[in-house]
Chain A
Amino acid sequence: MLSQIRPALVTLAALTLVTGLAYPLLVTGIAQAAFPHQANGSLVLKDGKPIGSTLIGQSFDDPKYFWGRLSATTDSNGKALPYNGGSSVASNLGPNNPALIDEVKGRVDALLAADPDNQAPIPVDLVTSSGSGLDPDISPAAAQYQVHRVAKARGLDDARVKALVQAHVEGRQLGILGEDRVNVLELNLALDEIK
């Protein structure tokens, strides 16, 4: 029994050096050399300053912007702070939890209040919260649902905004993987570019 202590200590120390230091440093070296943009958080620059990451959603509730998914993230005191990129978390609400029904109702009401003309049923991703609380995307259906509101708030043609949404639909990878989606931050940045 005692004779196994030395190999235990030596193997653990050696494999810690290999897999706990050499390996992550090697990967960091490759990552920073080959994919520096991705490895450092896919940050978006505007006038030289970072204004977000294409992979991390931001909170939008102004009618002139497209809104993203609901987010259950909080600040360090546990108070609601949607899209807190420093602390990912989901609502974890069960399908029959009354709090989930309230959350969905609240969002449906807010969307209807912002655009009373629009009586179409609301795509489900727009009224539910994401797994990370940081989902950067909405479905093309959820983007199209908001076209009229955004166009009206900006005094633009619906058709022009709709075309912009179409141009921002990111297709499935390799034609079959995942789902079609629209990156909310990129779409809103493009909206602000329209003069």
Chain B
Amino acid sequence: MNWQGYAQIIVFLAVLVASVKPLGAYMARVYEGEPIILEKGLGWLERLIYRLAGVSRDPEQREMPWTTYAVAMVIFNGTGILLVYAVQRLQGFLPLNPQGFAAPTPDLSWNTAVSFATNTNWQSYGGETTMSNFTQMTALAVQNFVCAASGMAVMIALVRGIARKTTSTLGNFWVDLTRSTLYILLPLTVVWAVIFVSQGVVQTFGAYPSVGLLQATKDADGHAVTDQVIALGPAASQIAIKMLGTNGGGFFNANGAHPFENPTPLSNFFNIYGLLLIPAALTYTFGKMVKDTRQGWTILATMFVVFLPLLALCVSQEQAGNPALASLHVDQVASALHAGGNMEGKEVRFGISATGLFASATTGASCGAVNAMHDSFTPLGGLVPLWLIQLGEIVFGGVGSGMYGILMFAIVAVFVAGLMVGRTPEYLGKKIEAREMKMASLAILFPAATILVFTAIAVVTESGKKGVFNPGPHGFSEVLYAFSSATGNNGSAFGGLGANTPFYNTALGIAMFFGRYFIKVPVLALAGGLAAKKLVPAGAGTLPTHTPLFVTMLVGTIVVVGALTFIPSLALGPIVEHLLAKS
């Protein structure tokens, strides 16, 4: 790799870290109801929504216990699923459909509806050949905003549960949802969308133009091809929220590899920056709201400790190239004139370094956008995104979901530490007891079980095996990746898998549903329980949770749980493929 390849990663990480405090502090103000400047422009809209929705203007009166908060979230997301399903099925009758696309099939519509409402954005379809502009804008992009906002709301409810004492309430879901959307996501997306357009991302409502080719060619049947159809659409606005909401669903089939979706290295930088920005900054918001910012920095440090070695593994494996091509007169060694490495499924403008960074970031977060095809990565290069998803997408995680995910691991870590010294564990002044451990374990183990059980079902049934594209252990990796991605609400894929079948559309839809709500509901239950507890003053036996020692313990917990759960399945896929290629 050239020095520029290292430099762009270092500069990226520096910009990210520098953004954590300002944005994190701002988000804390948004959630604590402190005055913010955007209320001058959008406050009327916020108040109008509350009035029409019947939400009290009095912050005390509208407080919700965890059960109401959870019910509100589930009803809201359920309504979203119905709306997205309906818009797709009625697509043929709705406006803004310049290409005249018909309605997607019922199983595909179900899959897509669940996918976008759960922040997964798994896509069994190609955007530019399936979805009208109307569907993309009013159904898919809206869910990109509001499911991200509902993830942030749940995280804030958990933080309130930790920060408050002897109370039964966690805030108001509708207020957290609306404020997340209007004051955090919306302003950022406008800025990002304009940056994207300046780089060449399209934003138009016209039909696809046809242009004359410089050199005419022939198609597979020998007919002359003299024109090229160019797919367009209102892409920039959707791609901005796709990244900032860690949704990841592409406007075009090739996602962030498509030159209209991610045209330049600078747009690529803003893609990755956008997807990690809010999750990283929420660590500071957390610290601010529990009145000890060291706690937030500790969580952020933990994320970096897990992220950096995996990033290095991914980039180095891809840079090493594909040994299978070594004997074919192909130059894979990086030089001043090319990036070299494993370029199948990658774009020249990104090369290896910007691609490895994207792949690690998008799966460390629950984004799932891609700027290259993970299916064509080297075995261990592809193991990195797969395992990052399986770790629970907590480095840096989805907006909100990453933070509440890593807090579950923090609770397990203090519990394990408590066991070692034989003392009731505490986290931030709250005693961690049987109920907390049950909820945290549920949130960690349920997704793992979903991934493994569904993968097992798929690889022993005919309808599951039929979708496999690449032969050998790589085919198993495709299935494992699909269920990891769906359950983790990631949405990226080993894209060779033929997943647009009733079996996969249905099974992956269920996995996405489980992966979202069987974490969110236990998290809220845990938050409700914590809020009701008294504060225990820190004593001599209290484990401080802002030290390098705690970072080590938290990293250990994450890695041990993730490794013990998934190494057997990884051994059957990428690891054995790597060993076979070596032999």
Contacts and interface: CB of A to CB of B under 8 A. Distances in A.
A32 B203 contact: yes
A160 B199 CA distance: 31
Nearest to A145: B331
A23 B331 CA distance: 47
B339 A4 contact: no
Contacts of A16: 83, 138, 142
B476 to A, nearest CB: 11
A87 B253 contact: yes
Contact of B79 (A9, A105, A177): A9
B204 interface: yes
Contact of B237 (A27, A95, A140): A27
B350 A178 contact: yes
A12 interface: yes
Contact of A27 (B55, B194, B346): B194
Q: Which one of A27, A95, A121 has the highest number of Cβ atoms from chain B below 10 Å of its Cβ?
A: A95
B214 A58 contact: yes
B347 A81 contact: no
Contacts of B494: 92
A87 B260 CA distance: 12
Contacts of B240: 27
Interface string B211-242: 11111010111000100111110101110110
A28 B204 contact: yes
Interface stretch (B102-110, B176-184, B399-407, B513-521): B176-184
Interface string A40-81: 111100000111110111111110010001000001100111
Nearest to B321: A124
Contacts of B55: 7
Given A23-B190, A83-B228, A104-B328, A7 B257 contact: no
Interface string A6-34: 11111110111011110110111011101
Contacts of A124: 321, 325, 330-332, 338, 340-343
A179 interface: yes
B330 A121 contact: yes
B260 A56 contact: yes
A59 B215 CA distance: 7
Interface stretch (B19-27, B261-269, B412-420, B525-533): B261-269
A177 B376 contact: no
Interface in A118-141: 120-125, 127-141
A35 to B, nearest CB: 5
A123 B338 contact: yes
A135 B68 contact: no
Q: Which one of A8, A59, A189 has the highest number of Cβ atoms from chain B below 10 Å of its Cβ?
A: A8
A34 B7 contact: no
Nearest to B69: A4
A43 B230 CA distance: 10
Contacts of B213: 51-52, 58-59
Contacts of B351: 178-179
Nearest to B322: A95
A92 B496 contact: yes
Majority DSSP secondary structure for residues of B touching A: mixed
B463 interface: no
B114 interface: no
B137 interface: yes
A120 B64 CA distance: 70
Interface string B47-78: 01100111100000000000010011001100
Given A97-B470, A138-B348, A175 B4 contact: yes
B507 interface: no
A96 B494 CA distance: 14
Contacts of A140: 337-338
A50 B141 CA distance: 31
Contacts of B8: 176-178
Given A38-B197, A177-B266, A178-B349, A6 B186 contact: no
B463 to A, nearest CB: 20
A81 B220 contact: yes
B219 A81 contact: yes
B583 to A, nearest CB: 11
Contacts of A1: 71, 75
Given A26-B190, A95-B322, A132-B257, A5 B231 contact: no
Interface stretch (B276-284, B289-297, B367-375): B367-375
B198 interface: yes
A175 B55 CA distance: 52
A114 interface: no
Interface in A90-125: 90-98, 100-101, 104-105, 108, 112, 120-125
A140 B349 CA distance: 11
Interface string B567-583: 00000000001001100
B348 A19 contact: no
A152 interface: no
12 contacts: A1-B71, A10-B52, A20-B142, A39-B203, A42-B263, A75-B220, A87-B129, A90-B345, A92-B373, A93-B376, A96-B379, A122-B330
Given A95-B377, A139-B338, 17 more contacts: A4-B68, A15-B178, A24-B238, A35-B198, A38-B200, A38-B201, A49-B212, A86-B128, A95-B322, A95-B376, A96-B474, A100-B344, A122-B331, A124-B341, A124-B342, A125-B338, A131-B254
- 6 tightest A-B CB contacts, nearest first: A178-B265, A131-B257, A139-B338, A92-B496, A141-B337, A88-B254
Interface of B: 4, 7-8, 11, 45, 48-49, 52-55, 68, 71-72, 75-76, 79-80, 83, 126, 128-129, 137-139, 141-142, 145-146, 174, 177-178, 181-182, 185-186, 189-190, 193-194, 197-206, 208-209, 211-215, 217, 219-221, 225, 228-232, 234, 236-238, 240-241, 252-254, 257-260, 263-266, 268-269, 321-322, 324-325, 328-332, 335, 337-351, 354, 370-373, 375-379, 469-472, 474, 494-496, 577, 580-581
